[in-house]
Amino acid sequence: MVASPEAPNSVARPFEVRFAAGEQSQALSGVWRVWCAKKKPDLFIAERPLGGEVKASIHCPRPDRPTWKRHHRFDREARGSVADDLRSAGHLAKTEHTWLGADCGLWGTLEWRIFILNTELSRAPLAVSTKVRLVPPPKSNESLVITIYVGKHDAPKGYPQASDAKTFLLEQGRLSDDRPVWITYCYVPPVPIPPPAGPHAQLFGSQSPGLATGELRCSLYAPNSDGSLAIFDIRAEIEECALK
């Protein structure tokens, strides 16, 4: 990582950003929300429309809890047919995954990377409000990588940048304990989507008979070798009788 000039217009607490790959008020990827807690140094990420059920959370150290805690899971209070079925079967806790965070030296930690491939952009764009920040979509043979960092209290001025790609600042803010947060993006060659880990991959989603053909936005989560959590924002094609 290398330093860049300090970015203007820092976001005041509480920190909340919504973003997607898209253009002209239309999202071509999932719509993501990153936000912080008002009174605790906690950071969250979720994809619309699962923000009330599935999210990844970072709980930074504080006086009453001196260690980091990170998890991605169904919220314990989540409601809906999928969450209720998992809860009644005793499987809700099994949906939890953790990661360590990638050490970025003086900057802090790289927590989440969202990968959006050109081949995974929606064919049916979603109209969004002006509250959603739209990032130029990746071109052919490109992956858009949106990266979220949690900084140290004494982090350098500016924001982290990838050493092998031109990096842009999407937004920055601070947690309740004044730790900086940066959301950046860059474009790299296509990144392969990893296959499901283990012999018994799980599918969480609707099997409504009213869903015939079209497409869905899906998210795949996978651990990165550097300790960060990789999130692949993909398009799922729905064909008649394909969901069983």
pLDDT tens for each residue of 180-213: 999 999 999 998 887 766 544 444 444 444 444 4
Task: Report how far residue 125's alpha carbon sits from residue 127's, in angstroms, rounded to the nearest whole number.
Answer: 7
Task: Report how far residue 233's alpha carbon sits from residue 193's, in angstroms, rounded to the nearest whole number.
Answer: 10
| pTM across the whole model | 0.83
**First CA to last CA across the chain, in angstroms?**
46
In a domain, 199, yes or no: no
In a domain, 200, yes or no: no
Give the distance, in angstroms, between the CA of residue 94 and the centroid of all CA atoms in the same chain.
Answer: 20
DSSP bridge partners of 231? 114, 221
Closest CA to 77 of 49, 48, 53: 53
- Whether the per-residue pLDDT at 163 is higher than 60: the answer is yes
Q: Are 74 and 83 in contact (CB under 8 A)?
A: yes
Look up residue 200 and give its amino acid.
Answer: H
| Span of 8-12, 24-28, 189-193, 221-225 with lowest mean pLDDT | 8-12
- Whether the per-residue pLDDT at 160 is higher than 50: the answer is yes
The pLDDT assigned to 183 comes to: 98
In a domain, 70, yes or no: yes
In a domain, 150, yes or no: yes
Closest CA to 183 of 154, 160, 157, 216: 160
The pLDDT assigned to 76 comes to: 59
- Please give the tally of structural domains in the chain: 1
In a domain, 196, yes or no: no
Q: The domain containing residue 180 runs over which residues?
A: 16-191+210-238
In a domain, 76, yes or no: yes
Q: What is the mean pLDDT of residues 34-60?
A: 85
Task: Report how far residue 166's alpha carbon sits from residue 81's, in angstroms, rounded to the nearest whole number.
Answer: 43
In a domain, 219, yes or no: yes
Degrees (nearest 5) of the Cα angle 140, 144, 149?
170
- Whether the per-residue pLDDT at 103 is higher than 90: the answer is yes
pLDDT, tens digit, for every residue of 70-86? Answer: 998 766 555 555 555 55
In a domain, 243, yes or no: no
Burial 70-107 (b: 16+ CB within 10 A, else e): bebbbbeebeeebbeebeeeeebeebeeebebbebeeb
- Whether the per-residue pLDDT at 13 is higher than 70: the answer is no
| Span of 91-105, 161-175, 179-193 with lowest mean pLDDT | 91-105
Percent of the chain with pLDDT over 70: 73
The set of residues, in sequence order, having a beta carbon less than 8 Å from that of 244 and lying 6+ positions away, is 207
- Indicate the burial class of 26 (C-beta count within 10 angstroms; 0-12, 13-18, 19 or more): middle
- Indicate the burial class of 156 (C-beta count within 10 angstroms; 0-12, 13-18, 19 or more): middle
Q: What is the mean pLDDT of the chain?
A: 82
Q: Binning pLDDT at 50, 70 and 90, where does residue 25 land?
A: very high
